[in-house]
Structure 1
């Protein structure tokens, strides 16, 4: 079954967006009606939801997954849990949101492969190996030294392949991410990042890394946080979606159009007061910069209701309709299909 509309007469931007399977490769969703309304207005089909907070212990992670599962049960007419590509296709056909469970850390699991299987049974389909710091699997991008994936990390990656969990290396150090690609039989993804050559940052990925990602058939989702798409020559200039397209275009030049997608990296639960508290810690201030609250996101993408602006920006940036469909969600669907187990 295809994930793109049939070839034919050119569509308007709105028609193209409506026809696409639109996927946000990384977000933290607010479990409430406001989230569902934004998703509906934005024409978003699926989201990769950071269902457990980084560094959560096992019990906390289980509680957070349970809370999300109960939310989906209570809103079955508008949202559904995505366990397979077929679930996302069905959600698109029914006008629902498909929610993918994708924790950004493995500390709640450690190296217990039985516990990894339990999290898969609970619905986890994307899992990031490390978050900023060193753990038992490898190094985070916030470490001064990155010695790469550990022996236990390699076993963990192979177990993820066997279970059908997509390996995410967004917050991993470069060597750890490269080692994960070498260890994995399935494509590895960077669910949310950007180009270091355009906006240097510990969270960004180098051209060499992106080239290897393309060779490995992986995908990178480009974020639209101001702290990540910033202009080095004009550090206080708020980026817009044209800047997002610049990052996408560079990845296409290096890795190919089949290996880039969208990932807002927006936390819908974050408040201005919470952000102020974050800025008191050196780690988070260095990570997110000191952008004013109202400027923390790129111009034109304040929340998920504005997702149609991506389609317009990509078309304005010279991408064909077929290429736009890939970037909006087709590339995520391809890599999900190559990694996840088919629906029973």
Structure 2
């Protein structure tokens, strides 16, 4: 079956699978809905608040996303549980989960965490690049780990049922989060440091620790993160993406790896090349910012094909495409 699918009939496997993009900034538009429908995407983790947003800004941004979902009841559903995601799959709708990539909008008022949970937050990243009240981001020169407040914050996330995300955390802060959390911690979007060294990548030791406590790491399809160390100007393709997936699967097991494009759909050509996003990922060209074969969400079936060609079985691919995320959501939420 695997060879037959790899030869060209991968679409059936893709259509049967829960396809979960664990990190993107969704354009709140009909175009987004159309791209995801053509790509067979079941669910997305939408970065609903901009990093470093104030409380007021974050609440406004969540309100806008909820109104967008409400305006498209036949196409979208705000997903709060695993059952909501499976229902969306059965009804050919797209499940949208909210996953802010920072906690600065909550600040020192841990009671606000309840409010953001009530508004739909189910993933929450502890830090975004820099130090905050929780711990250190990966962009800091020093990482002293999770603070006392950070440990309390993680425990409250566990109690509510919010997935702890350490994608942009420093390594020690991420490891501390794992030791403090009673439920699996995740890295919604990253890549293998051994293949493409970077402050945003995760080391093999980190992946082993993540896998040991049941966590999952999503592999991005951004060109700048999947780069070839011996030829940094070469634009990666989905074979390179599949190599990162295979590396993490070899280190932590296939249950520890998944997909997260990390696409920012709201940055357009005229603003991208001067943006902080372009600087962070190291790819200034708008046309080259994404891996070849995965130019937008409509190309998601190409990921299934690339994983088959890498040698993963259909059962393993279903885990990678979505079931690994579903397991964590069920355990946490």
TM > 0.5 fold call: yes
State the match for 2:185 in structure 1: 188
Distance 1:216 1:299 in 2: 33
* Partner secondary structure for residue 295 of structure 1: coil
The residue that corresponds to 1:323 in the other structure is 316
Match of residue 228 from structure 1: 225
Aligned twin of 1:126 = 123
- Is residue 273–residue 285 contact of structure 2 (8 Å, CA) maintained in 1? no
Alignment of 1:172-211 (within 5 A): 172-211=169-208
Q: Is the 8 A contact 1:225 1:296 kept in 2?
A: yes
2:287 to 282, 294, 304: 294
- Contact kept in structure 1, 2:130 and 2:136, CA below 8 Å: yes
Aligned to 2:213: 216
Residue 291 of structure 1 and its aligned partner are, at CA, apart by: 3.5
- 2:111 aligns with 114
Structure 1 length as normaliser, TM-score? 0.94
Who is 2:70 aligned against?
73
Q: 2:157 aligns with which of 138, 155, 160?
A: 160
TM-aligned CA deviation for residue 65 of structure 1? 0.2
Quick check: 1:111–1:156 contact (8 Å CA) kept in 2? Answer: no
Distance in 2 between residues matched to 1:274 and 1:126, nearest whole Å: 28
3-state secondary structure, aligned to 1:297? coil
Question: Alignment length, in residue pairs?
Answer: 330
Distance 1:295 1:316 in 2: 23
| Higher mean C-alpha displacement, 85-94 vs 290-299 | 290-299
- Quote the Cα distance in structure 2 between the aligned partners of 1:231 and 1:286: 18
Q: Which moved more, 1:12-21 or 1:284-293?
A: 284-293
Runs (5+) with no aligned partner, structure 1: 1-6
In the alignment, what sits opposite 1:314? 307
* Deviation at residue 111 of structure 1 after TM alignment: 2.9
* Gaps in structure 2 of 5+ consecutive residues: none
1:3 corresponds to which residue? none
Match of 1:334 in 2: 327
SS in 2 for 1:300: coil
Shift, 1:286, TM fit: 4.8
SS in 2 for 1:113: coil
Partner residue in 1 for 2:148: 151
The Cα shift of 1:55 comes to 0.1
Partner of 2:166: 169
Q: What's the CA shift for 1:285?
A: 5.5
Deviations 1:75-123 (A, max 9, x none): 0110010000000000000000000000000000013221000100000
- Displacement after TM superposition at 1:278 (Å): 1.5
CA deviation vs aligned residue, 1:133-171 (integer Å, no higher than 9, x gap): 000000000000000000000000000000000000000
Contact map agreement 1:111 1:137 (CA 8 A) in 2 = no
Q: Say whether the 8 Å CA contact 1:227–1:291 is kept in structure 2.
A: no
CA shift for structure 1 position 273? 2.1
> Aligned to 1:61, what secondary structure does the other structure show?
helix
Give 3-state SS (helix, strand or coil) of 1:333's partner: helix
Pair 1:286–1:294, CA change in 2 (3 A): closer
Corresponding residue of 1:253: 250
Question: Which residue matches 1:303?
Answer: 296
- TM-score, normalisation: structure 2: 0.97
